[in-house]
Structure 1
Amino acid sequence: MIANALPKSLVDNPRLGTWIGFETAGRVRLSTGKVELGQGILTALAQIAAEELDVAFGRMATISGLTDASPAEDFTSGSNSTAVSGAAIRLVAAEVRALFLARLAERLGCAPAELEIADGRFLRAGEPTGEDYWSLAAAVDLDREATGSAAVKRPADYRIVGRSVPRPDLAARVAGAPFVHDMAPCGLIHARVLHRPWSGARLARFDEAGVRKAAGGEIMVFREGDFAAFLSDDPTAATRAWQAARRSAGWTDGDPSPVEGDDRRWLRDWPSHVRRTEAGGPARGGGTATAVEARFSRGFISHGSIAPSCALARFDGAHLTVHSHSQGVFVLRDWLARTLDLAPAQISVSHRPGAGCYGHNSADDAAFEAAFLALRNPGRTVRVEWMREDEFAAAPLGPASAVAIRADLGPDGRPADWTIEIRSPIHGRRPGMNGRPNFASAAALGLVPPEPAALEDVPDAIGGGASRNADAYYDIPRRAMVHHRLDGLPLRTSTIRGLGAHLNTFAIESLLDELAERCGEDPLAYRLSLSSDPRARAVLEEVAAMADWQRRPGGGEGTGMGLAFGRYKNRAAYMAAIAALSVGEDVRVERVWAAVDAGLVVNPDGAASQIEGGIVQAASWTLKEEIRFADGRIATESWDDYPILRFSEVPQIEIRFVGPQDQPTLGIGEAAVGPTAGAIGNAVAHALGVRIRDLPLSRARIMTALLREEDG
């Protein structure tokens, strides 16, 4: 049974009617603050509500991400939607169901246990009572606080949850239903924004006459502080003006990037704030026989959304309406209000689908820019669309990181003492973090004070930032983490899928393979010897069976198989992965097997899609992706400069869910990132007989490693 303790979403939004209503005959309103980012979450949440209410899934009408009509649920992030919002909806729906049964039982003079529900209709002794949710709605007051006391269904009784219900929105998407980019109300003004090329840069000049000439149409040039925008009824004219301004702009002052090319040495030398945490008791085995050390790194990465960010805003003189693909519409509304000197009640933010993104991309920035320009053009809808160059150079970057691990081995070759040391800038600059709006253009406009050098990273209590998954999920007697938070770095870094879990898991799982090799043991057996968690062992054993691991060929001949494991945040879904690949001119991942324990899986097809997407994205990061720098600024401007995994390179993927379905749902949206990276890294080492510890595992790095090996 799932415990009826109130989850955070329900504590923050306790009124039952905020979540569920029966205003339209035959339809059930489900309101949620979580938003659809392509992960299928709205389908899963509607399944949960339909299950507890005993109505057909097709009756559900979901309202999502509207500040005027949804519960305020913070960000759609952290693999929390089903685990937290879903838990809230389950309790709310169960309590609503119980209230309706109690009310009808009172009318009929019977016990609630004598009644049952079939697709929203109430039966007694199997016969219709003539009542349903909609006929009783006026008699049941849902404007009350949830208690969490109503019994939820047993998983054994589920008829909707646990089944692969198709996403209701996909048919419309295929038929051309609009994304935020497609919204085109009458009187639209198109805007392009000139963004600063490095931190704190001052806009000294640009050739305004040349900009107007290049536009080839009527444009409005807006300039305030270090912010400039080009607005026109014609989107082509706005784009041409932006291109000309970008070419002619002169920037001074500020703090150029310390990075050059793909150099990682600055990570070691940059000033940092250091904290140390420790866990465990006395070392195992009566002392240390051998110390093994290894270093790993990852460069900066981009969100790489296929479409750039976009937002629309309109100010009617009293109220501001914003349409955005933000992951946190309520947080966005509140920080727009603070930054633009409006009351939150004067702003409505509605989520509209955009290009998929896991983490903090530039959606909130585009929304701020549209809102700011709308206030200066009342009565007109302003549409801001970022350009591809902006997405690489001005959007928040996935942080570069360096990881060093020292394992002190006992006589049995197992780690008795383990220290992981991480050097990374912060992984969290969403709106509101560190008490700041974190809109890049707000800083350029001088609407916020300069950013202090020291900013807090995402707290460990909610999963951590650079420290996410740094604590190896194995039975190691003593573990320590040393976190060097790099302060004052003049680059804009923030949340990207998995945060620190990508590199941390890659590093941990790579070193475990090396330790197994030192002991002459199979990597699977070595891991199992370090794991007493039966659910961790189950996914490892299952993925080994799926991939026929025991028949893994010998390595060093250009083909390899690698294994890795991780439990996301050490408290969400478990996943073990095996990658099979070949190494020629490039690394080609041919197959990936994944065994996943996510507890109760609400929608297996949707869950599998999440794991598949995570595998593909992690493979792209691990093999290809890295932002480049030159002359103090980001030099990556196009897909030619930033290769990502192509459709033709996507491996065959097999996924199996093995978790107990009577256990709470565990978040899976980011669970695949670390294990996939670790499995690929170990497979490359198996294929080559040489280990590469710096990501991405590019052709250049492979050649360097092989030449170094030849030179001895």
Structure 2
Amino acid sequence: MKKHQPSDTGRRSFLKTTGHLMIGFNLLPLAFCQTKGATNEIPAYPGIPLRPHVDGKLVDSWIRLDAEGFLTVLSGKQELGQGIKIALIQIAAEELDISPDRCRIINSDTGQTANEGFTAGSNSVEGSGKAIRNAAAEARRYLLAMAAEKWSTSPDSLSVTNGTIKSPKGDEISYWKLLEGKHLEGTVTGTAPTKAPRDYRYVGQSLQRDDIRKMALGEPHFVHDLRMPGMLHARVLHPPSYHAKLESLAPTAVESMPGVVKVIRDGSFLAVVAEREYQAVKAREMLKSLAVWSEVPLRPLPRELAESMTTSLGKVEEVQMSPGIAETIKSSTISLQAEYFRPYHMHASMGPSCAIALWEEELLSVWTATQGVYPIRATLADLFSLDEEKIRCIGVPGSGCYGQNGADDVSGEAALIAKKLPGRPIRLQWMRESEHQWEPYGTAMAFRLAAGMDAEGKILAWDTTLWSDSHSTRPNGRAGSFVSARHLDTPFEFRKGGFSAGSYRNGIPEYSIPAKQLQLYNFAGPLRTSSLRGLGAYANTFAMESFLDELIHRAGKDPIEFRLENLEDPRARAVLEKLAEKADWKSRQKTALNGFGIAYSRYKNSTSYFAALAEVDIDKANQTYRLKKLTGVIDSGLVINPDGLRNQCEGGMIQSASWSMLEEVRYDGNGIISENWSSYPILRMMDVPEVEVHLIDRPDTPPMGAGEAAMGPVAAAIANAIFDATGSRIRDLPLKAEKIAWNTL
């Protein structure tokens, strides 16, 4: 295949001398840049994997001044729709005093960016943002020192306007002219002074996101949109259930179908490759009709799951203990115990997972929507017993993720298929049924909570016992993490991990309670699980804040006042106080046909603060309810992009409402039943409530991740609102109307 060549040989020569061969070329990562000067053309194969400066201690591992007069930001974090690209550009542009219009960004490319692990846990701004801020500050100090030496003056006397340094005497020189072909030298020491918040011009502004514009206009943006010369299309036929094995297949009829290039069988791994996509789809349907499988029933069944979890044997993990807590609760004036349950949830990505892979001369390139290009590179190296340096993984946005959906699996499968057809790019896209049935779900969880209060409503003791499967089986160097690697003729072993911390995230109350206890039981459930937005924080907060609402009701207290009385952190109190103000809590119009619910948490007990109010209307005649409005208040420290932060909160609130009201993975002994949008309903546009988000900006504090902060509080707020309206407490998700005790109203 003909490789892509840069057209400007002079620029190429210049970039070679600086060691920045990639910057400015029309290669894939720049095709998804979101600022002026970046091309929209979908590029060809980039060729041999690069070895750029990817040492996180080097300035030019994070920012580079390229030959075209642009600043290029490099980040190992993937754009997942959370707006990280524009936020990181704002941070770099601010520290270097360069207009964001002159900035572009490359995300998640093992050939260009540093290894920042997974894009997960709402850590991108805290991690990558901090690294880029420090690198930009270091670069500014270095450049001002160069200019000061050139003009025999002090760096402190110089100013910068859009990348041009100016002296008191009227001398001017741009960053790019000053470098004259040199690259930014030096390491990131962390000692370079960063700009004071009072001087910010770009941070704190709602700059527009180009990815949203592209999606609105239908322009190429996702990995699904990539088209390459000579590209073939593939489809995989996954087994009908987890433990099914392929017994027999007569592929002749499929191989003779129009456009079919190859049928691939390796153990129970089945795939078809064709010249056109619809030909691959039709061939897969034929494969499905011909394949004969042996199957093993799934157990326990859904009706047995909660009991199976809470009665399972195993060693308890004592996360936090408080001797004598059971007696304290028993002897309290008010004591309460309740059990809660969360079912399996899907990522339910709107577009099925997709990846493109190309083998050429024992070099593998994969265009992937993974959340971790370096971890998946290590996993591919294990799959093929190949040196990691011979694999390049290029991150491209996918159509929905927030955890480990099928993006990693489809990348591994595309590489397996491409290995059989070297020299031609292989585009593999899952079918909808594969996405629903084979993605790793957010795990089911069970909770048993107990607490005791005194006569004045002061909580004296809180005891949590929870049961949970793994919250992370991400590919991180072991090929068995790819689901199809387990189906090969020589299968790779799968080792489940990721228990513990993800399970009890947000499981210990922040409230001022003298005795707190949490015990965890790891449970190996029947379905495949891994990371889903918030991990255990969503269900823990749902259970905790619902149970707290029960205690508040028993004590006859106001839901906001009670929380304020039992929270010491002034920032926690502030989000609740602002929620009460913005929602006009004390003057709310309570009727027999509506209800209001409050919930609060600080994500991970260490990052963003979030308080939520849900308002529901009930319809007694039709025995249903409607989520009318959600109001949220968030404190994420320094706000980089206000509109972006609101986007994150609004999306999280709506997704949480969908999880909480509708979603649960249905299965039986034969496998997953939830294989489409009818059998796995999600919140439709007509049912989306009014959403209102208020921000507390704290410019003098570090920015914190916000993407997962809303998930748990919204779930509990809706449950508490239903109770407020009906007096019926729903303790097991989803919060379906049929679970309300309508006959008692």
Q: Which TM bucket (shorter chain)?
A: over 0.9
So what's the TM-score if we normalise by structure 1?
Answer: 0.92
Which residue of 1 is the match for residue 171 of structure 2? 129
Which residue of 1 is the match for residue 612 of structure 2? 577
Greater mean deviation of Cα atoms: 238-247 or 108-117: 238-247
Q: Identify the match of residue 498 of structure 2 among 429, 454, 457.
A: 457
Greater mean deviation of Cα atoms: 291-300 or 134-143: 134-143
Task: Determine if the alignment matches structure 1 residue 680 to structure 2 residue 718.
Answer: yes
Q: Identify the match of residue 155 of structure 1 among 182, 186, 197.
A: 197
Q: Is the 8 A contact 1:288 1:408 kept in 2?
A: yes
Task: Determine if the alignment matches structure 1 residue 186 to structure 2 residue 232.
Answer: no
| CA distance, structure 1, for counterparts of residue 489 and residue 117 of structure 2 | 27
Note the alpha carbon deviations across 1:537-584, whole angstroms, 9 max, x for none: 0101111111111123446x3311111001111111001010111133
Q: Identify the match of residue 341 of structure 2 among 294, 297, 301.
A: 297
The amino acid that maps onto 1:597 is D
Greater mean deviation of Cα atoms: 167-176 or 69-78: 167-176
Greater mean deviation of Cα atoms: 64-73 or 89-98: 64-73
Q: What pairs with 1:243-642 in structure 2 (closer than 5 Å)?
A: 243-252=285-294, 254=296, 256-260=298-302, 264-278=306-320, 288-432=332-476, 437-446=480-489, 449-452=492-495, 455-457=496-498, 464-487=501-524, 489-554=525-590, 557-584=592-619, 585-642=623-680
| CA distance, structure 2, for counterparts of residue 262 and residue 151 of structure 1 | 59
| 1:12, distance to aligned residue in structure 2 (A) | 6.5
The percentage of aligned residue pairs carrying the same residue is 38
Q: Is the 8 A contact 2:469 2:499 kept in 1?
A: no
| CA distance, structure 2, for counterparts of residue 291 and residue 100 of structure 1 | 65
| CA distance, structure 1, for counterparts of residue 338 and residue 703 of structure 2 | 35
| CA distance, structure 2, for counterparts of residue 27 and residue 196 of structure 1 | 49
Instruction: Give the 3 Å change call, closer, same or farther, for CA 193–141 of structure 1 in structure 2.
Output: closer
| CA distance, structure 1, for counterparts of residue 324 and residue 345 of structure 2 | 39
Q: Identify the match of residue 154 of structure 2 among 89, 111, 126.
A: 111
| CA distance, structure 1, for counterparts of residue 662 and residue 329 of structure 2 | 41
| 1:271, distance to aligned residue in structure 2 (A) | 4.3
The amino acid that maps onto 1:377 is L
Q: Is the 8 A contact 2:382 2:479 kept in 1?
A: no
| CA distance, structure 2, for counterparts of residue 176 and residue 234 of structure 1 | 22
| 1:327, distance to aligned residue in structure 2 (A) | 1.0
Note the alpha carbon deviations across 1:122-175, whole angstroms, 9 max, x for none: 1112x5423121012248653432111101111111111011111133334425
| CA distance, structure 2, for counterparts of residue 458 and residue 159 of structure 1 | 43
| CA distance, structure 2, for counterparts of residue 100 and residue 25 of structure 1 | 18
| CA distance, structure 2, for counterparts of residue 285 and residue 222 of structure 1 | 62
Instruction: Give the 3 Å change call, closer, same or farther, for CA 693–182 of structure 1 in structure 2.
Output: same
| CA distance, structure 2, for counterparts of residue 542 and residue 238 of structure 1 | 55
| 1:458, distance to aligned residue in structure 2 (A) | 5.0
The amino acid that maps onto 1:617 is Q
Note the alpha carbon deviations across 1:225-250, whole angstroms, 9 max, x for none: 11111111122222122223334433
| 1:198, distance to aligned residue in structure 2 (A) | 3.0
The amino acid that maps onto 2:600 is F
Q: Is the 8 A contact 1:261 1:628 kept in 2?
A: no
Q: Is the 8 A contact 1:423 1:483 kept in 2?
A: yes
SS of 1:170 mapped into structure 2: helix
Which residue of 1 is the match for residue 29 of structure 2? none
Which residue of 2 is the match for residue 66 of structure 1? 109
Q: Identify the match of residue 91 of structure 1 among 134, 141, 159.
A: 134
| 1:473, distance to aligned residue in structure 2 (A) | 1.7
SS of 1:431 mapped into structure 2: coil
| CA distance, structure 2, for counterparts of residue 593 and residue 300 of structure 1 | 26
The amino acid that maps onto 1:472 is P
Q: Is the 8 A contact 1:627 1:636 kept in 2?
A: yes
Instruction: Give the 3 Å change call, closer, same or farther, for CA 315–423 of structure 1 in structure 2.
Output: same
| 1:279, distance to aligned residue in structure 2 (A) | 5.9
SS of 1:695 mapped into structure 2: coil
Task: Determine if the alignment matches structure 1 residue 171 to structure 2 residue 213.
Answer: yes
Greater mean deviation of Cα atoms: 275-284 or 148-157: 275-284
Q: Is the 8 A contact 2:473 2:497 kept in 1?
A: no
So what's the TM-score if we normalise by structure 2?
Answer: 0.88
SS of 2:171 mapped into structure 1: strand
| 1:69, distance to aligned residue in structure 2 (A) | 0.8
| CA distance, structure 2, for counterparts of residue 680 and residue 12 of structure 1 | 46
Instruction: Give the 3 Å change call, closer, same or farther, for CA 265–206 of structure 1 in structure 2.
Output: farther
| 1:33, distance to aligned residue in structure 2 (A) | 0.8
Q: Is the 8 A contact 1:581 1:589 kept in 2?
A: yes
| CA distance, structure 1, for counterparts of residue 170 and residue 235 of structure 2 | 61
Q: Is the 8 A contact 2:54 2:113 kept in 1?
A: no
| 1:661, distance to aligned residue in structure 2 (A) | 1.9
Q: Identify the match of residue 660 of structure 1 among 698, 716, 732.
A: 698
Instruction: Give the 3 Å change call, closer, same or farther, for CA 190–535 of structure 1 in structure 2.
Output: same
SS of 1:163 mapped into structure 2: coil
| CA distance, structure 2, for counterparts of residue 326 and residue 684 of structure 1 | 38
Contiguous gaps of at least 5 residues in structure 2 = 1-52
| CA distance, structure 2, for counterparts of residue 28 and residue 397 of structure 1 | 40
Q: Is the 8 A contact 2:616 2:629 kept in 1?
A: yes
SS of 1:171 mapped into structure 2: helix
| CA distance, structure 2, for counterparts of residue 377 and residue 665 of structure 1 | 47
| 1:287, distance to aligned residue in structure 2 (A) | 6.3
| 1:190, distance to aligned residue in structure 2 (A) | 1.2
Instruction: Give the 3 Å change call, closer, same or farther, for CA 472–298 of structure 1 in structure 2.
Output: same
Note the alpha carbon deviations across 1:428-469, whole angstroms, 9 max, x for none: 011118x565100111115554335xx43255xxxx312111
The amino acid that maps onto 1:470 is G
Task: Determine if the alignment matches structure 1 residue 222 to structure 2 residue 260.
Answer: no
Task: Determine if the alignment matches structure 1 residue 80 to structure 2 residue 116.
Answer: no
| CA distance, structure 2, for counterparts of residue 86 and residue 101 of structure 1 | 22
| 1:418, distance to aligned residue in structure 2 (A) | 0.8
The amino acid that maps onto 2:596 is M
| 1:505, distance to aligned residue in structure 2 (A) | 0.6
| CA distance, structure 2, for counterparts of residue 653 and residue 353 of structure 1 | 26
Q: Is the 8 A contact 2:481 2:494 kept in 1?
A: no
Q: Is the 8 A contact 2:59 2:185 kept in 1?
A: yes
| CA distance, structure 2, for counterparts of residue 186 and residue 78 of structure 1 | 37
Task: Determine if the alignment matches structure 1 residue 234 to structure 2 residue 234.
Answer: no
Contiguous gaps of at least 5 residues in structure 1 = 1-9
The amino acid that maps onto 2:716 is G
Q: Is the 8 A contact 2:346 2:441 kept in 1?
A: yes
Instruction: Give the 3 Å change call, closer, same or farther, for CA 407–265 of structure 1 in structure 2.
Output: same
| CA distance, structure 1, for counterparts of residue 274 and residue 330 of structure 2 | 74
Q: Is the 8 A contact 2:220 2:226 kept in 1?
A: no
The amino acid that maps onto 2:558 is D
Instruction: Give the 3 Å change call, closer, same or farther, for CA 114–217 of structure 1 in structure 2.
Output: closer
| 1:398, distance to aligned residue in structure 2 (A) | 1.1
Instruction: Give the 3 Å change call, closer, same or farther, for CA 349–576 of structure 1 in structure 2.
Output: same
Paired residues in the alignment total: 687
The amino acid that maps onto 1:422 is L
Note the alpha carbon deviations across 1:89-125, whole angstroms, 9 max, x for none: 1111001100111121122221111111111111112
Q: Is the 8 A contact 2:479 2:492 kept in 1?
A: no
Note the alpha carbon deviations across 1:363-390, whole angstroms, 9 max, x for none: 0111101111111101111111101101
